[in-house]
Amino acid sequence: MARDFVPFGLTVCGIEELNGFCEAGVTHVLSILDPGHPEPTAFGSYGEHKRLELRFHDIIDPYMGQSLPQRADVERILAFGRDLLTEPTGVGGLLVHCHAGISRSTAALTMILAQASPDRPAAEAMAAVVGIRHKAWPNLRMIEFADEILERRGELVDAVRARHRSYGRERPDLVQFMIDNGRVREVADLID
């Protein structure tokens, strides 16, 4: 389904999984790390690739002195996505990762796909990401910025909120994790 959006392979993973993709033909990497986290050593085995590295915490509202994702971060992700589609030598494969491969990375890929096919429903972009990474729980703050920038009039936010609801019903432990980590806005309609 993701190939319906872009003409290259897509991978989403966490830091611990990066070594498993050294031979996967990755030509482009979108790397989202916590501030202060060391650069993953796995990239030394990837061969030549282009990489955008961003650093912010996986939060959606101010929380315990952590760094929020900013609109400028989302603008950089979207610019990276646009550049991929116009890459003169082609893209062999895009790997998007964050710490666990669940939230920041899946938000980034969802917005890249929504941008690549603006005429398609945002729910289809979200479904394509879930097809790649079942445990996708996109960061709502990042998606809110992308929805505004891409002028999706709430459609992208609605698609991600629907994902939060469906996966939250499947994984109540994840709902509690979000509550415990200051992300109540993502699970508010799942709380009794």
Domain 2-186 coded CATH 3.90.190.10: yes
- Whole-model pTM: value is 0.95
Check residues 22 and 156 and name the one with the higher pLDDT.
Answer: 156
Confidence of residue 20 (pLDDT cuts 50, 70, 90): confident
Per-residue pLDDT at 179 = 92
3-state secondary structure the chain: CHHHCCCCEEEEEEHHHHHHHCCCCCCEEEEEECCCCCCCHHHHHCCCCEEEEEECCCCCCCCCCCCCCCHHHHHHHHHHHHHHHCCCCCCCEEEEEECCCCCHHHHHHHHHHHHHCCCCCHHHHHHHHHHHCCCCCCCHHHHHHHHHHCCCCCHHHHHHHHHHHHHHHHCHHHHHHHHHCCCHHHCHHHCC
Q: List the domain boundaries for the chain.
A: 2-186
pLDDT digits (tens, 9 = 90+) for 32-67: 999 999 988 887 777 678 889 999 999 999 988 999
